[in-house]
Amino acid sequence: MIQLGSSEKLAQARLKAIERAREEHKKANEKASKEKEILRVKFEELEGKLKSAGAARKELTRENTRLEQATANLEKEKVELLEERDAAVEKLIRERQRMRDSRSLEVTRERERVEAAMIEKANRCFVRVRDHFTRLEALGKAKNLYGQASGTKKCLEMIRASGTEIQQEMIDGFAEQEKIYEAEATKLCVGPLSDSDLTLSPLGLPSRFVEDRFRGSFDPYGSNVNLIRPETSSQIITSLEITGEPTEEPLVDLTSVPAEHVEVPEGGDLEERPENENLEEVPGKDNLEIGNTPVREEETENVGIEDPVLVSDSSSEGREVGKEEDDRVKEASPSHPVEEDPTAAATEDPVGSSALGMPEEIGQDSAP
Q: Residue 278 sits in which domain range?
A: 83-244+268-363
pLDDT tens-digit readout, 228-271: 555 555 555 444 444 444 444 444 443 444 444 444 444 444 34
Percent of the chain with pLDDT over 90: 17
- Confirm if 55 and 265 have CB atoms less than 8 A apart: no
Structurally, the chain folds into a number of domains equal to 1
Q: Dmax of the chain from CA atoms?
A: 233
Which sign does the torsion angle of CA 98, 102, 107, 113 carry?
Answer: positive
How is 247-316 classified by DSSP, letter by letter? -SSPPPPGGGSPPP-----TT-B-----TGGGEE--TT---EEETTEEE-THHHHT--SSSPPP----HH
Q: Is residue 101 part of a domain?
A: yes
pLDDT at 37 exceeding the cut of 70? yes
pLDDT at 7 exceeding the cut of 50? yes
Amino acid of residue 134:
T
Count CB neighbours of 145 within 10 A: 19
Label residue 88 by pLDDT band (50, 70, 90): very high
- Confirm if 265 and 330 have CB atoms less than 8 A apart: yes
| Element spanning 191, H or E | none
Q: Is residue 231 part of a domain?
A: yes
pTM of the model: 0.35
- Per-residue pLDDT averaged across 34-62, rounded? 92
56 CB-side CA count, 13 A: 6
- Per-residue pLDDT averaged across 126-150, rounded? 88
- Confirm if 147 and 185 have CB atoms less than 8 A apart: no
Q: Is residue 311 part of a domain?
A: yes
CA-to-CA distance for 205 and 23, rounded, in angstroms? 131
- For the ranges 137-146, 307-316, 353-362, the maximum mean pLDDT occurs at 137-146
How far out from the chain centre does Cα 92 lie? 19
Q: Is residue 211 part of a domain?
A: yes
pLDDT of 219: 64
Which of 337, 352, 215 minimizes the C-alpha distance to 276?
Answer: 215
Which of 141, 175, 190 minimizes the C-alpha distance to 365?
Answer: 141
Question: Which value, in Å, is the radius of gyration of the alpha carbons in the chain?
Answer: 58
Look at strands 279-280 and 205-206 and give their pairing: parallel
pLDDT of 108: 87
Q: Is residue 158 part of a domain?
A: yes
Burial zone of 262 (CB within 10 Å; 0-12 exposed, 13-18 middle, 19+ buried): middle
Label residue 222 by pLDDT band (50, 70, 90): low
pLDDT at 2 exceeding the cut of 50? yes
Q: Is residue 21 part of a domain?
A: no
Q: Is residue 108 part of a domain?
A: yes
| Element spanning 352, H or E | none
CA-to-CA distance for 238 and 88, rounded, in angstroms? 20
pLDDT tens-digit readout, 195-206: 777 776 666 667
- Per-residue pLDDT averaged across 51-80, rounded? 94
Q: Is residue 302 part of a domain?
A: yes
Please list, residue by residue across 278-289, b when 16 or more beta carbons sit within 10 angstroms of its beta carbon and e when fewer do: bbeeeeeeeebb
Mean pLDDT, the chain, whole residue set: 69
pLDDT of 267: 40
Residue with the bigger pLDDT between 208 and 107: it is 107
- Confirm if 287 and 296 have CB atoms less than 8 A apart: yes
Q: What is the DSSP letter of 359?
A: -
- Confirm if 136 and 197 have CB atoms less than 8 A apart: no
Burial zone of 345 (CB within 10 Å; 0-12 exposed, 13-18 middle, 19+ buried): buried
pLDDT of 111: 84
Q: What is the DSSP letter of 199?
A: B
Residues written for the chain: 368
CA-to-CA distance for 123 and 271, rounded, in angstroms? 17
pLDDT at 113 exceeding the cut of 70? yes
**Helix, strand, or coil here: 365?**
coil
